[in-house]
A and B are shown apart, each in its own frame.
Chain A
Amino acid sequence: MSQIASSILTTPENRDKNIIRLKHTLAVMNKVILGKEQTLRLALTCLIARGHLLIEDQPGVGKTTLAHLLARVLGLDFQRIQFTSDMLPADILGVSVYDQNSASFKFHPGPVFSQLVLADEVNRATPKAQSALLEAMEEYQVTTEGETHPLPSPFFVIATQNPSNQIGTFQLPESQLDRFLMRLEMGYPDEAHEKELLRGKDRREILKELNATLAPTQLLTLQQAVQQVHVSDSLIDYLQKILHFTRHSPFYRKGLSPRAGIAILRCAQAWALLDQRDHLLPEDIQAILPATTNHRLQPSTEFSALAPDEVVSHLLTVPLD
Chain B
Amino acid sequence: MKKHLAHIVISRNTTLWLLASLLLAFAPHILHLPVTLTALCLMFGIWRFALERRSTTILPHRIFRTLLLCTTLVIIYLHYGTLFGREAGIALLACMLALKLLEMRSVRDYIIAILLGYFLAITLVLDNQSLPMAAYMFVVAFMLTATLVDLNLSQKNRSISINLKLTAKLFTQALPVMLILFFLFPRIPGPLWSLPDDAHSGTTGISDEMSMGSISHLSLSNKIAFRVAFEEDVIDNNLSYWRGPVLWQTDGKNWHTGDNTQINREISYRPMGKPIHYTVTLEPHNQKWLYGLDLPATAPSQATINRNFQLVTKEAVTELMRYETTSFSQYQTGPLTHNEMQRALQLPANRNNRTVALGQQWQQKIQSPQAIVNHALQYFNQQPFSYTLKPPLLGNNPVDEFLFETQRGFCEHYAASFTILMRAAGIPTRIITGYQGGDFNPIGNYLIVRQRDAHAWAEVWFENRGWVRVDPTASVAPERIEDGAESAFSELFDRQSTLQFNNRFLTSNWLKLRYGWDNLNNSWNQWVIGYDSLKQSELLSLVGIESIKQMAITMGIAVITVLSALLLLSMRRNKQKQDAVSLIYQRFCQKLSTIGIQRQPHEGPLDFAQHIITLRPDLASQILQINDLYIALKYRPRHTQQQIKRLQQQVQQLKI
Interface residues of A (CB under 8 A from B): 230, 232, 234-235, 278-283, 286, 316-321
Partner of B604, one of A230, A278, A282, A317: A282
Extra A-B contacts (8), CB below 8 Å, given A279-B637, A320-B602, A321-B582: A230-B637, A232-B635, A278-B636, A283-B606, A286-B607, A317-B602, A320-B601, A320-B604
Tell me the total A-B contact number using a CB cutoff of 8 A: 42
Hey, which chain A residues are within 8 Å of B634, CB to CB? 232, 234
Name A283's contact: one of B607, B636, B637 (CB within 8 Å).
B607
Residues of B within 8 A of A (CB-CB), count = 13
- CB closest chain-B residue, reference A319: B601
List 30 interface pairs A-B (beta carbons < 8 Å), by A numbering.
A230-B636, A230-B637, A232-B634, A232-B636, A232-B637, A234-B635, A235-B635, A279-B631, A279-B637, A281-B604, A281-B606, A281-B631, A281-B635, A282-B604, A282-B605, A283-B605, A283-B606, A283-B607, A286-B602, A286-B604, A286-B607, A317-B601, A318-B602, A319-B601, A319-B602, A320-B601, A320-B602, A320-B603, A320-B604, A321-B582
If A283-B606, A320-B602 touch, does A230 touch B582 (CB 8 Å cutoff)?
no
Enumerate B626-649 residues with CB–CB distance to A below 8 Å: 631, 634-637
Residues of chain A lying within 8 A (CB to CB) of residue B636:
230, 232, 278-279
In the complex, which residue of chain B has the Cβ closest to the Cβ of A283? B604
Interface string of B64-85 (1 = CB under 8 A from A): 0000000000000000000000
CA distance A1 to B603 in the complex (A): 44
In the assembled complex, the CB of A278 is this many whole angstroms from the nearest CB of chain B, namely: 8
| Set of chain A residues within 8 Å of B637, measured between Cβ atoms | 230, 232, 279
| A243 to B606 CA separation, bound complex (whole angstroms) | 23
Across the two chains, which residue of chain A brings its CB closest to B610? A283
- Give every chain B residue within 8 A of A230 (Cβ-Cβ): 635-637
Q: How far is the CB of A177 from chain B (nearest CB, A)?
A: 26
With a cutoff of 8 Å between Cβ atoms, the chain A residues found around residue B607 in the complex are 283, 286
Chain A residues with CB under 8 A of B603: 320
- Residues on B with C-beta less than 8 A from A321 are 582
Closest to A286 in B: B604
Q: Identify the closest chain B residue to A287 (Cβ).
A: B604
Q: With the chains together, A283 CA to B606 CA distance in Å? A: 7
Tell me whether A280 and B601 are in contact (CB under 8 A): no
A282, closest chain B residue (CB): B604
B591-609: which residues lie under 8 A (CB-CB) from chain A?
601-607
Q: How far, in angstroms, from A283 to B607 measured CA to CA in the complex?
A: 7
With a cutoff of 8 Å between Cβ atoms, the chain B residues found around residue A317 in the complex are 601-602
Residues of B within 8 Å of A278, CB to CB, are 636
Q: Which residues of A contact B605 (CB under 8 A)?
A: 281-283
- Report chain B residues within 8 Å CB of A282: 602, 604-605
Q: How many Å lie between the Cα of A286 and that of B634 in the bound state?
A: 17
When distances are taken between beta carbons in the complex, the residues of chain B under 8 Å from A281 are 604-606, 631, 635
Q: Which residues of B contact A234 (CB under 8 A)?
A: 634-635
Query: What are the nearest 6 A-B pairs in CB distance?
Result: A319-B601, A282-B604, A283-B604, A230-B637, A232-B635, A279-B636
Min CB–CB distance B627 → chain A (angstroms): 10
A104 to B605 Cα, complex, angstroms: 64
**Closest chain B CB from A313 CB (angstroms):** 11
A138 CA / B582 CA spacing, docked (Å): 40
Report Cα–Cα, A235/B603, bound state, in Å: 13
Quote the shortest CB–CB distance from B478 to chain A (angstroms).
90
Contact of A279 among B582, B601, B602, B635 (CB under 8 A): B635
The CA of A282 and the CA of B600, in the complex, are separated in Å by: 13
Q: Mark B116-151, 1 if CB is under 8 A from A, else 0.
A: 000000000000000000000000000000000000
Chain A residues with CB under 8 Å of B602's CB are 282, 286, 316-320
Give the complex CA separation of A321 and B585 in angstroms.
Answer: 12
Chain B neighbourhood of A316, CB < 8 A: 602
Cβ contacts under 8 Å, A280 to chain B: 635
- Chain B residue at minimum C-beta to C-beta distance from A317: B602
Residues in B with CB closer than 8 Å to A232 are 634-637
B272-289 vs A, CB cutoff 8 Å, 1 = contact: the mask equals: 000000000000000000
Q: How far is the CA of A283 from the CA of B602 in the complex (A)?
A: 9
User: How far does the Cβ of A25 sit from chain B's closest Cβ, in whole Å?
Assistant: 23
B605's closest neighbor in chain A, by CB? A281
Question: In the complex, what's the smallest C-beta–C-beta distance from A312 to chain B, in angstroms?
Answer: 13
CA distance A214 to B211 in the complex (A): 117
The distance in angstroms between the C-alpha atoms of A89 and B603, with both chains bound, is 47
Tell me which of B631, B634, B635 has the highest count of chain A C-beta atoms within 10 A of its own C-beta.
Answer: B635
Query: Please, which residue of chain A has its CB at the minimum distance from the CB of B632?
Result: A279
Q: Name which of B601, B604, B631 has the most chain A CB atoms within 10 A of its CB.
A: B604
Nearest chain A CB to B631 CB, angstrom units: 7
Q: Which of B561-584 contact A (CB under 8 A)?
A: 582
Residues from chain A with a CB closer than 8 A to the CB of B601 are 317, 319-320
Give Cα A232–Cα B581 distance, bound, in whole angstroms: 13
Please name all residues of chain B whose beta carbon is closer than 8 Å to the beta carbon of A320 when the two chains form the complex. 601-604
The smallest beta-carbon distance between B210 and chain A, in angstroms, is 84
Chain B residue with the shortest CB-CB distance to A242: B602
Whole-angstrom distance between the Cβ of A218 and the nearest chain B Cβ: 25
